[in-house]
Amino acid sequence: MKFQQIRGATSKLTYNNKCFLVDPFFAPKDEYPPLEVGPFPDKRWPTVSLPMSVEEIVSGIDAIIVTHLHPDHLDEFAIKALPKDLPLFTQDETDAKVVKGFGFKDVRILNYDGTKFFDILMFRIDGLHGHPETTQKYYDAGHMRETASGIVFEAPNEKIFYLCGDTIWYEGVEKALQKYRPEVIAVNGADAQFADSGSIIMGLDDILQVCKAAPSAKVIVTHLDAVPHALVGRKEVKNCVSQHHLSAQVVVPDDGEICQF
């Protein structure tokens, strides 16, 4: 398998000879105004440019995966640029209905008991996109669902891969690690937060929990240095990895970098 970091949560996954574009977010740098409820209310976003052209990103993909419908996982620029006839996988019927409204013609659902794509099985895993008691008011104010999912990929002659998606460390992630025993794990590790929400995706402590729970797995830390409400970037992750002697286990790819397993 190959994992190419694009920007933020956007990546290209080549798995069992099929190429998936995950969570396409194509907006130009500084396109969107600051998040007033975030920790940096003056920072426009995305905070960095794409590392390559949209045409290059889209080239060669066999399917699209949208883990949930927050704008840094599917934005207006991606909706306009993406081929509408490619298979597009969503977490549930609610998201599927919205995506069909954008003109996508082949929308499929990720199931808990496995969704097949050629010889690949994809299992939906529930995420916890922050604790509801502190985050729900922000999602409601932004007219966004709080529901987000991860995916476990399995295929013959491939390593089991767990894309955690937008989630914090909680028992659902721990149970997925125990059940599927992934050999490669991608975590969204920027510790994004709203004003008083607490973490809505993993931060440094969560990354350490994943490493501890799956000591033989390679861990990719993604979703870094792109959104304005993140408290953790590549520098902080790399320092943490070094301090805990995890350099042999944890990979922190730059935008555009390809990791092969």
Render pLDDT for 80-136 as a digit per residue (tens, 0 to 9): 999 999 999 999 999 999 999 999 999 999 999 999 999 999 999 999 999 999 999
Give Cα separations from 133 to 129, 146, 202 (angstroms). 11, 11, 17
Report the number of distinct structural domains present in the chain.
1
Give Cα separations from 1 to 13, 133, 156 (angstroms). 7, 38, 12
Q: What pLDDT was estimated at residue 51?
A: 98
Q: What pLDDT was estimated at residue 62?
A: 98
Give Cα separations from 151 to 52, 203, 259 (angstroms). 26, 19, 19
pLDDT tens-digit readout, 47-92? 999 999 999 999 999 999 999 999 999 999 999 999 999 999 999 9
DSSP E strands: which ranges in the chain?
2-7, 10-15, 18-22, 63-65, 87-90, 106-109, 115-117, 120-126, 149-154, 161-163, 184-188, 218-222, 250-251, 258-260
pLDDT tens-digit readout, 171-229? 999 999 999 999 999 999 999 999 999 999 999 999 999 999 999 999 999 999 999 99
pLDDT tens-digit readout, 29-43? 999 999 999 999 999
Nearest in space to 200 (alpha carbons), one of 68, 55, 87, 88: 68
Q: What pLDDT was estimated at residue 34?
A: 95
Give Cα separations from 115 to 111, 120, 154 (angstroms). 6, 8, 10
pTM: 0.98
Q: What pLDDT was estimated at residue 95?
A: 98
Q: What pLDDT was estimated at residue 46?
A: 98
pLDDT tens-digit readout, 143-167? 999 999 999 999 999 999 999 999 9
Q: pLDDT confidence of 142, banded at 50, 70, 90?
A: very high
CATH number for the domain including 207? 3.60.15.10
Task: Supply the range of the domain harboring residue 186.
Answer: 2-260
Q: What pLDDT was estimated at residue 5?
A: 98
**Adjacent-strand bridge partners of 12:** 4, 21
Give Cα separations from 142 to 71, 120, 145, 194 (angstroms). 11, 35, 9, 12
